[in-house]
Structure 1
């Protein structure tokens, strides 16, 4: 095919005629695109594409580097491919399980007949470096899904075969790296030579794949201890194994075999048992002097429904829960601190009147009467409306808010009077053995549905704000999650299959002409791996009802 095609490069704001079939890699040179960090993919007409993508029609192109979440996903995905091949080269009979993000890296396990010690790990690391130095291409192959499934079955990759077999796709892509075949959801770098910053190391009975720092991607992310978080993941992975629902293909199979009602019932019962256990522990600690429970967690983690269900269980345990909102302790709007961009930072701990909050908590716990404030979000000022509170002998305070685990919020309240809970949707079910589901994707989909249903926000608006929300979580929530006495995983095995029919029509409304379309398109493709289930089987107390509607709780 001869001729030229017009390309608009947003990075340089230039328009050029370029030969039809030019790759994005060549367009970087053509437009002389400069970036301080590695470019791993591009948005083409607001859809994320690999740098091997070729232009055949007029396009608008924006190249993105590792400071962008999409580019980092491409890097990590390619790194995981290299890891899987290296393990296969060094230990041909071993199986690699890439499980979840933890400790600023990615936790993985190697299942083998022989122990994986320092010698084997060094051999795998060195093989990864050899693969990178060889600058091998990632080859993409597209065939009829039936043939790809047959290929995966012949290679013993039943997890991938079942995912594709149950996903209703006519054609499927798989990738090849020097003869090694794998399947990764999303784009890869053109070659292995892009992947220069990484490490692997032993980590809590498994291994940690270390990746570049998002803010400064020329160095590794610092390792962060997150043993409590890892233990929650392990507990839920064991539950999935017992349920024989390790991956999405297993869930789809259960849906097709009309076993999903049982899956829902077991998942809901499991969560109920956990909430009941937490209530029992609080009751026990209450007798030892605990007077206040703090519930914290990131956006759309289901904190509100968790609190309501916990309060019911506390009442069953003969305690009287008294809820107080941290929002009512906002400073007057004019006194709100500013962020690095000069905007009012309502996520900041210092957007709260810490002195007043602690004074009220201490007085309440000592038996005094306190007039609680109410924050007027219209006027941006604190008001007092005669809301007096005095604790009874069996009362226990329940405080829900993003700063609940931050020591500075309650630094003058004795530790033995506090019980701290971290709540998040820690998604444990995976697409297959090498493709985990990011917890942030789970929460974003929840938030898109909730914002549209209850707050009148479009998916475009929610997506546009998500990076800012994540930035606030990284600063004010995640550093303190290990301070929790207990962690509660609000994610459910079946939930993305149930939420799909609610999320898809909302995501489809995002215009193709806006930058947010790239993320909407990615989420739609991701949800396409799940078979539909209706939510009519969900009990009215289900945590998922907070987002889908139909809850018996009032919000």
Structure 2
């Protein structure tokens, strides 16, 4: 039997192994030690399970739960344990793993009115399954046989999705007699899942997961009542439309109802924006400042423009003011932990000048608005002045919009605060949600490529820094909002698929971002395409696709 050459990036060691040696055996031989148990590895920048067998020369990097892909493996595996526990205790109930909220994952059990005692029973059964250290087994079989398996277990949502994919073979995972359809790998066995909790939350349960940076501890619950309400509102709307899982959207593509889905989604957006404008108009005597905040690629800019139109319909006169004008000179920009300029920090803005000019504007004074040259990193003035009339309202959009320190000199009753994000409300299937961060990343990849000449590799490489900035400067303040607006559209990923896939295919196998590009391409493989013809030019998704009637 031939030997294969292996290079391990974790400790920069190389060795030769017999063809067919598993990653687990290689990790033991090379004495690879990570902070927590090894869950998988990047093999030539492709994610693989720990039992993957090596037959050709490879470069390997082992990963644990502290890496995003490791955390995804952990959560997928925990989801199958939860499904098994619920199915054993409540065989006729339907488990829905719905959305991320309060630093955990909200789950409902349809067909049962869960009590605290019920949730404790499910939690205890999960602990028993985990203590048994039962292996997760991955199978690959002919798709028709896999469909029959899921139908026999009354998992029609997964059977429908497999049919729409049209593949000859399908992989699935098995935990004893229970099976699950997952779009990535699982950990080797249930014994790896010691850190978790399950608590009663609203009408369902909150599945708590480990901190990625300190995986021996659980994420601390953060109260997000407004966020939960907006998720539930859209979940109820989806139930009315009979669109709850991806298979329902794919079905719309094949039966000619995609145009109706687009029209209804856009009408709902317009109705919600109009309602927000009415809320502001009802407080027009007090409100002089509308602050819009949200994470990257949430559609803040288009939302602000559409809100301004609705405010004018309501008889108000909005005036836009950009926070980008108030950056401090480059030499005064704070640095992050890596010594890089931290443009997301609040201190990157001249908060005192901003507040003084707000006070002057609200007092009816004319002020000369600063400008900022992003190439030179310097502030300048070009004589542009701004003055407000009594019937004007300032509309300000930016990541710090909900941070009280941004407008600390302005009384709260003069502000109306809006949080916007793409809060994906449709699932892949009952136990696989679509993460809002993936939705936003895909939007950003398409927009950066089209308008900023950034490759998918460049956008993916920056995403970690973007997410850290959001965690520090946006998410802690989202519950400060007077109202939240969900910019996600039911059909959007089916439309973005056609633009995103060719961009992702440009990421090369020798680039570290290749694994993430492959994951997103596999994700898009679940979607039937929808043509963008019926999308109106004012749609929020046009900010990313192109074809918008707004100027940016």
Per-residue deviation at 1:154?
2.2
Larger mean CA deviation between 496-505 and 148-157 belongs to 148-157
Aligned residue number for residue 177 of structure 1: 175
Within 5 Å, give how 1:500-511 maps onto structure 2.
Answer: 500-511=497-508
SS at match of 1:209: strand
Per-residue deviation at 1:235?
0.5
Within 5 Å, give how 1:172-321 maps onto structure 2.
Answer: 172-287=170-285, 289-321=286-318
Q: 1:360 aligns with which of 354, 357, 360?
A: 357
Aligned residue number for residue 59 of structure 1: 58
Mapped partners of 1:279, 1:170: distance in 2: 51
Aligned residue number for residue 518 of structure 1: 515
Aligned residue number for residue 479 of structure 1: 476
Mapped partners of 1:145, 1:362: distance in 2: 65
Mapped partners of 1:321, 1:215: distance in 2: 43
Per-residue deviation at 1:279?
0.7
Q: 1:160 aligns with which of 158, 164, 179?
A: 158
Are 1:427 and 2:424 an aligned pair?
yes
Aligned residue number for residue 140 of structure 2: 142
Per-residue deviation at 1:38?
2.9
Within 5 Å, give how 1:30-49 maps onto structure 2.
Answer: 30-49=29-48
Per-residue deviation at 1:341?
1.2
Mapped partners of 2:275, 2:315: distance in 1: 15
SS at match of 1:487: strand
* Residues 295 and 474, structure 2, Cα contact 8 Å, conserved in 1: yes
Per-residue deviation at 1:52?
2.1
Mapped partners of 2:64, 2:138: distance in 1: 22
Mapped partners of 2:129, 2:6: distance in 1: 34
Q: 1:377 aligns with which of 370, 374, 379?
A: 374
SS at match of 1:523: helix
Aligned residue number for residue 392 of structure 1: 389
SS at match of 1:164: helix
Gaps of 5+ in 2: none
Mapped partners of 1:531, 1:192: distance in 2: 34
SS at match of 2:369: strand
Are 1:350 and 2:340 an aligned pair?
no
Aligned residue number for residue 7 of structure 1: 6
Are 1:538 and 2:535 an aligned pair?
yes
Q: 1:452 aligns with which of 430, 449, 455?
A: 449
Mapped partners of 1:360, 1:168: distance in 2: 60
Per-residue deviation at 1:39?
2.3
Are 1:436 and 2:433 an aligned pair?
yes
* Residues 292 and 418, structure 2, Cα contact 8 Å, conserved in 1: yes
Aligned residue number for residue 108 of structure 1: 107
Aligned residue number for residue 466 of structure 2: 469
- Superposition CA RMSD, Å: 1.0
Runs of 4 or more consecutive aligned structure 1 residues displaced over 2 Å after TM superposition: none
Mapped partners of 1:23, 1:126: distance in 2: 34
1:57-81, Cα deviation, whole Å (9 max, x unpaired): 2211111122211110111111111
Aligned residue number for residue 18 of structure 2: 19
Mapped partners of 1:60, 1:331: distance in 2: 44
Per-residue deviation at 1:168?
2.4
SS at match of 1:431: strand
Normalization by structure 1: what TM-score?
0.98
* Residues 114 and 204, structure 2, Cα contact 8 Å, conserved in 1: no
Per-residue deviation at 1:387?
1.0
Per-residue deviation at 1:169?
1.9
Mapped partners of 1:164, 1:274: distance in 2: 35
Mapped partners of 1:305, 1:169: distance in 2: 38
Larger mean CA deviation between 23-32 and 499-508 belongs to 23-32
Aligned residue number for residue 127 of structure 1: 125
Mapped partners of 2:357, 2:521: distance in 1: 47
Change (3 A) 1:118 1:204: closer
Aligned residue number for residue 491 of structure 1: 488
Mapped partners of 2:76, 2:49: distance in 1: 12
1:1-58, Cα deviation, whole Å (9 max, x unpaired): x332221111111111112222222222111111112322211111111212221222
Per-residue deviation at 1:155?
1.8
Mapped partners of 1:427, 1:232: distance in 2: 11
Per-residue deviation at 1:307?
0.6
Mapped partners of 1:129, 1:23: distance in 2: 29
* Residues 119 and 205, structure 2, Cα contact 8 Å, conserved in 1: no
Per-residue deviation at 1:470?
0.3
Task: Give the total of aligned pairs.
Answer: 552
Mapped partners of 1:420, 1:23: distance in 2: 54
Per-residue deviation at 1:349?
0.4
1:231-290, Cα deviation, whole Å (9 max, x unpaired): 110011111111111000010011100110000000000001000101111111113x10
Gaps of 5+ in 1: none
Are 1:77 and 2:81 an aligned pair?
no
